[in-house]
């Protein structure tokens, strides 16, 4: 029993290993696996997650920004790290820490090539990102000739991989669109290989892509949310385990009389006698105001306790009228019997948002290491 005495995000490394092995079971033996650990490993603990994944044999890591990659290098991570959204101001640090950039536009390609020339680099590994329908980052299909013109026979850089991103891999109604994306990517990569004179490895699938489009796993896949226990599908979620478990405690219990209000702006008024509990977490910890006023709920002694009134900066109040509990008792916000996806859905959002919103001031504790 992992007893807590304050608001705590427990990070279950055995759940992480379970999820990794589940996802690997969907792949061909030779397919490489990239673990996405951006945003502090989806709000958990980037360093401990990366160390566990490296011990399990993951082939690559991905972060969003250079400073995230530096954090991993400083922690002793030696595996290749792809920076998905590098900024030119960080190119020198990126090279110093042996990080690998995603080059996604003519401007970024030219600027990085200039830095590589200035530093006298030889065959520095880079990844070329193509936009096949997400319309976020990436070269266009008709940019292949220009890319090759810049890179072919150049000693400074070597294209290690070419990749793209599915826009709606979890949505069965968008399957025709996803298949068109895959077909476009295949065409691009074949043209690029032919003109470069060598074949970078390819990756396109995210977690939902691994599940729904295994025929397009190419030489590598990328998984973020799946590693943390969510597959964007109820059936898959049932086979994964949540890595992050957010718990807190009851600070104080109040007896509320009829017509008494609770919290800021008197947003909740009791119709009869109620019992409430005040919990030490609020919107400064990642539980936004959208979860208040009976939208979200927590679990106390396995029973649902709805959040009443407005969420405060450091506290929330919940209705415990029908729950036999006391001050100091444990409260589960999400992770056990209530997933982050379920909790997020109560406020019409998604697991990604609530997981990555948990504030750094919330204590992190590694369990089952």
Measured distance CA(101)–CA(66) in Å, rounded: 9
E strand residue ranges, the chain: 8-12, 32-36, 60-63, 81-83, 100-103, 124-129, 157-163, 201-203, 220-223, 244-249, 252-256, 261-262, 268-269, 274-279, 297-300, 303-308, 316-319, 330-334, 363-367
CB contact at 8 A, 164 and 129:
yes
d(CA 347, CA 294): 10
3-state SS record for 144-207:
HHHHHHHHCCCCCEEEEEEECCCCCCCCHHHHHHHHHHHHHHHHHHHHHHHHHCCCCEEECCCH
Distance between CA atoms of residues 252 and 279, nearest Å: 7
Catalytic residue among 20, 32, 38, 230: 38
Question: Whose structure tokens read 């019992």?
Answer: 275
Question: Could you tell me which of 110, 105, 13, 100 has the C-alpha nearest to residue 63?
Answer: 100
Q: Which of 107, 154, 255, 264 is catalytic?
A: 264
166, 205 Cβ separation under 8 angstroms:
yes
Contact 111, 144 (CB under 8 A): no
Catalytic residue check, 213:
no
Does residue 32 carry a catalytic annotation? no
Count of residues making up the chain: 369
Please compute Rg for the chain using Cα positions. Answer: 24
Separation of first and last alpha carbons in the chain = 14
Residue in the block written with tokens 């049932």: 238
Classified as helix, coil or strand, 262 is strand
> Which of 244, 318, 337 lies closest to 279 in space, CA to CA?
318
Quote the CA–CA distance of 220 and 82 in Å, as a whole number.
Answer: 13
Active centre residues (catalytic): 38, 264
């Amino acid at each position: 029993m992992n007893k807590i005495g304050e608001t705590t995000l427990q990070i279950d490394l055995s759940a992480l290993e379970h999820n990794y092995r589940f996802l690997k079971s969907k792949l061909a033996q030779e397919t490489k696996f990239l673990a996405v650990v951006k945003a502090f490993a989806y709000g958990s603990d980037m360093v401990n997650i990366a160390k566990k994944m490296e011990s399990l044999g993951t082939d690559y890591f991905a972060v969003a920004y250079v400073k995230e990659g530096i954090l991993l290098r400083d922690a002793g991570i030696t595996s290749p790290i792809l920076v998905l959204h590098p900024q030119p101001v960080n190119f020198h640090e990126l090279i110093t820490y042996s990080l690998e950039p995603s080059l996604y536009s003519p401007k970024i390609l030219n600027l990085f090539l200039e830095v590589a020339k200035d530093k006298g680099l030889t065959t520095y590994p880079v990844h070329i990102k193509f936009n096949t329908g997400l319309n976020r980052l990436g070269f266009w299909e008709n940019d292949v000739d220009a890319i090759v013109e810049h890179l072919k026979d150049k000693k400074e850089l070597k294209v290690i991989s070419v990749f793209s991103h599915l826009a709606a891999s979890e949505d069965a109604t968008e399957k025709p669109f996803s298949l068109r994306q895959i077909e476009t990517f295949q065409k691009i990569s074949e043209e690029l290989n032919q003109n470069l004179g060598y074949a970078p490895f390819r990756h396109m699938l995210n977690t939902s892509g691994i599940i729904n489009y295994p025929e397009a796993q190419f030489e590598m896949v990328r998984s973020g949310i799946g590693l943390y226990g969510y597959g964007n599908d109820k059936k898959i979620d049932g086979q994964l385990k949540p890595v992050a478990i957010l718990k807190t405690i009851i600070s104080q219990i109040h007896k509320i009389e009829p017509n008494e209000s609770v919290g800021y702006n008197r947003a909740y008024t009791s119709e009869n006698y109620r019992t409430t509990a005040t919990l030490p977490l609020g919107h400064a910890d990642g539980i936004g105001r959208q979860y208040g006023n009976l939208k979200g709920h927590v679990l106390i002694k396995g029973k649902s306790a709805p959040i009443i009134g407005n969420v405060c900066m450091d506290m929330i109040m919940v209705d415990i009228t029908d729950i036999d509990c006391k001050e100091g008792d444990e409260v589960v916000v999400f992770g056990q019997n209530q997933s982050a996806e379920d909790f997020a859905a109560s406020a019409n959002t998604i697991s990604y948002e609530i997981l990555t919103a948990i504030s750094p001031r919330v204590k992190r504790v590694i369990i089952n290491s």
